């Protein structure tokens, strides 16, 4: 079976690591733009690069929003329909993307047999404020053959929007445990217990984009109230300058370190903090859809604190401490409790690693995806 994995500029190795193990069972071909948002050249299957409006205007604030007003979705890929001739499955992402509409158009022409749509969006009727996207979504809900929801919340959102429940299957994505799960929780705990910051303080870790919805401001406020804690921020984003200004204003410059590292370095990064914190905050238009960093942190044995936001409770189960989003005082209290109670950290470390092995091993996930495709082939 020949399968087109279509993600436009958002084709990425993090999602695709759950597909790579089945490359010998199916002919996989990735479709992206000429200037993708992620490094995809090392993916273990062939890649097709197509021109797209998404290739232009990078670095220009809100340029994509301007394009979306004109095009409904700027991730249109020139020549995609024609390149799908002979494929059995066009597997796209999200109901409102232009390339999903292109896959459906190719299906109508008989150029591709079936269309599958992966759905991360977990807010019902989201994206409908952009002209034309409601129509895009309704067409997809009606014409797509199957939906692969990455969370139960995404499935429930699809059903609220009118999708046939019989068309939806939930498969969470996985990670390469061999990369992150290198130590037992006893070894991880021992390593972290002797790891101290430059002031002798305990260190906590944040990994993600530096922007409001990731809860970075709440985390900075919590750290300011914890003089015995240092914070490592790994990532970049549009609000980096504002975050640094807040750090200076709160006079905690000597306790906050901000850095960017390669993905290859991440396994060692997750060993640097006694606690990993992702304090996501929902907005009217977004809530945490999955949180791959949560899985990586759990697999690495990092005790996790996060929030009741979006699909986070599904991802972490009982293997993390969850606090209300937007509450830096509650966040501060849970960080303080964990750093002062080694046994609680050790217990969370064990629970996280066990959950990662049970649910998020990419090879186990790949088997589920393979079975999904086999059933699709038999329909």
The domain segmentation of the chain, as residue ranges, is 2-174+361-378, 177-359
40 vs 31: CA distance, rounded Å? 10
90 vs 82: CA distance, rounded Å? 12
Residues 106, 84 contacting (CB under 8 angstroms)? yes
Residues 364, 174 contacting (CB under 8 angstroms)? yes
Residues 92, 115 contacting (CB under 8 angstroms)? yes
For residue 195, the model assigns a pLDDT of 47
Please report, for residues 68, 219, 299, 319, the alpha-carbon distance to residue 304 in angstroms, rounded to integers and kept in the order given.
Answer: 37, 14, 11, 8
Instruction: Tell me the mean pLDDT per 10 residues along the chain, length 379.
Output: 97 97 97 95 96 82 78 94 97 98 98 98 94 96 98 98 97 95 66 51 93 97 96 94 96 95 91 95 94 96 96 97 98 96 94 96 98 93
Residue 303, by phi and psi: left (phi above 0), alpha (psi -120 to 50) or beta? beta
What are the helix and strand counts (H, E) for the chain?
16, 13
Arch. (CATH architecture) of 177-359 = 3-Layer(aba) Sandwich (3.40)
Q: SS3 of 49, please?
A: strand
Give 275: exposed, middle or buried? Use CB within 10 Å, 0-12, 13-18, 19+.
Answer: buried
222 vs 237: CA distance, rounded Å? 20
For residue 194, the model assigns a pLDDT of 45
191 vs 203: CA distance, rounded Å? 13
Q: How far does CA 140 lie from the centroid of its chain?
A: 22
Arch. (CATH architecture) of 2-174+361-378 = 3-Layer(aba) Sandwich (3.40)
What is the strand order of the sheet 202-207 is part of? 256-259, 229-234, 202-207, 275-278, 304-307, 321-323
Please report, for residues 38, 58, 141, 282, 368, the alpha-carbon distance to residue 35 in angstroms, rounded to integers and kept in the order given.
Answer: 9, 10, 29, 30, 31
Same fold, 2-174+361-378 and 177-359: yes
Helix (H) or strand (E) segment spanning residue 261 = none
300 vs 352: CA distance, rounded Å? 8
């Amino acid at each position: 079976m020949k399968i087109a994995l279509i993600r436009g500029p958002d084709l990425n190795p993090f999602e695709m690591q759950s597909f790579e193990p089945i490359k010998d069972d199916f002919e996989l071909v990735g479709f992206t733009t000429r200037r993708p948002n992620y490094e995809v050249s090392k993916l273990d299957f062939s890649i097709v690069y197509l021109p797209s409006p998404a290739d232009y205007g990078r670095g220009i604030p809100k340029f994509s929003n301007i394009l979306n007003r004109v095009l409904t979705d700027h991730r249109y890929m020139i020549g995609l329909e024609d390149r799908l001739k002979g494929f059995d499955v066009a597997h796209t992402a999200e109901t409102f993307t232009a390339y999903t509409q292109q896959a459906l158009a190719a299906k109508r022409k008989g150029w591709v047999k079936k269309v599958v749509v992966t759905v991360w969006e977990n807010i019902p009727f989201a994206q409908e404020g952009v002209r034309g996207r409601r129509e895009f979504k309704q067409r997809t809900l009606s014409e797509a053959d199957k939906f692969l929801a990455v969370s139960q919340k995404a499935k429930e959102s699809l059903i609220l929007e009118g999708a046939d429940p019989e068309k939806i299957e939930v498969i969470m994505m996985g990670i390469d445990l061999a990369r992150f799960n290198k130590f037992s929780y006893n070894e991880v705990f021992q390593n972290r217990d002797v790891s101290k910051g430059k002031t002798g303080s305990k260190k906590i870790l944040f990994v993600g984009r530096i922007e409001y919805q990731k809860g970075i401001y709440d985390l900075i406020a919590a750290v300011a109230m914890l003089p015995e804690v240092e914070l490592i921020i790994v990532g970049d984003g549009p609000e980096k300058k504002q975050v640094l200004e807040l750090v200076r204003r709160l006079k905690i410059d000597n306790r906050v370190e901000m850095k960017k590292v390669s993905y290859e370095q991440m396994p060692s990064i997750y060993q640097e903090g006694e606690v990993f914190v992702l304090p996501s905050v929902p907005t009217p238009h977004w809530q945490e859809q999955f949180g791959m960093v949560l899985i990586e942190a759990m697999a690495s044995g990092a005790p996790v604190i996060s929030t009741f936001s979006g699909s986070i409770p599904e991802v972490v189960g009982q293997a993390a401490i969850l606090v209300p989003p937007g509450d830096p005082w509650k966040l501060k209290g849970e960080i303080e409790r964990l750093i002062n109670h080694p046994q609680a950290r050790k217990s969370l470390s064990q629970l996280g690693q066990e959950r990662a092995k049970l649910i998020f091993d990419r090879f186990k996930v790949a088997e589920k995806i393979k079975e999904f495709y086999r059933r699709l082939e038999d329909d």
